[in-house]
Structure 1
Amino acid sequence: MEYDEMPYQEARQRAVRVLEDGYGDAVVLRDEHGYWALYYFYWVQTPPPQARPHWMEGPVAEPSLLRPPYEMKKFLEEAGEFDYLNDVD
């Protein structure tokens, strides 16, 4: 399975790190190419188990090079990308 199609629940199970803030979750995975972040923008709510990532970043050599959800969301907005506003309620 490609990372950009990985459901949230599976990503969390494989995670080496999770960055959470009020904008969403960045689930950090590691493979032979480096570190990847899968971004799930659900604000302060936990994404549904079957949710697919809204955005993906990587590979990078160190996990510290991956942006937290707020920084990625700001970057995407400045680049003119669609504003991801999901609500599970």
Structure 2
Amino acid sequence: MEYAEMPYEEARKRAVRVLEDGYGDAVVLKDEHGYWALYYFYWAQTPPPAATPHWMEGPLGEVGAIRSPYEMKKFLEEVGEPDFLNDVD
């Protein structure tokens, strides 16, 4: 399965690290190519189990290069990407 289509629940099970803040979750996966960050933007709420990532970054050489959801959101705004903030309520 390609990471860009990976449901939140499955990504959490395979995660080597999860970054959570008020903007969403960055679920970090690792494979033979490096680290991948799957971003699910649902504010401080837990994303639905079947939610697919709003954005993906990688492969990166080290886990420390992964941006927090806030940092990624800010970056996406700066480069003109649409707003990927969902609400599950």
TM-score bucket (shorter structure): over 0.9
By how many angstroms is 1:85 displaced?
1.8
Q: How much does 1:57 deviate? A: 0.4
Q: Offset at 1:28? A: 0.1
Structure 2 counterpart of 1:36, one-letter code:
W
Q: Segments of 4+ in structure 1 off by > 3 A?
A: none
Question: Which TM-score applies when normalising by structure 1?
Answer: 0.99
Which consecutive unaligned segments of at least 5 residues does structure 2 have?
none
Q: Note the 1:7-18 alignment, pairs <5 A.
A: 7-18=7-18
**Whole-angstrom distance in 1 between the partners of 2:85 and 2:76:** 13
The aligned counterpart of 1:19 is 19
Residue type at the aligned position of 2:27: V
Question: Does 1:76 pair with 2:76?
Answer: yes
* Amino acid in structure 1 at the alignment position of 2:45: Q
Match in the other structure for 2:87 = 87
TM-score, L = length of structure 2: 0.99
Q: Kindly provide the amino acid, as one letter, of the partner of residue 23 in structure 2.
A: Y
1:41 aligns with 2:7: no
Paired AA for residue 52 in structure 2: R
For the pair 1:6 / 2:6, whether they are aligned, the reply is yes
Q: What secondary structure is seen at the aligned counterpart in 1 of 2:71?
A: helix
The alignment partner of 1:51 has SS state of coil
Partner Cα distance (1:19, 1:52) in 2: 16
* Alignment gaps of 5+ in structure 1: none
TM-aligned CA deviation for residue 84 of structure 1? 1.1
Cα RMSD over matched residues?
0.4
Task: Calculate percent identity across the aligned residue pairs.
Answer: 81
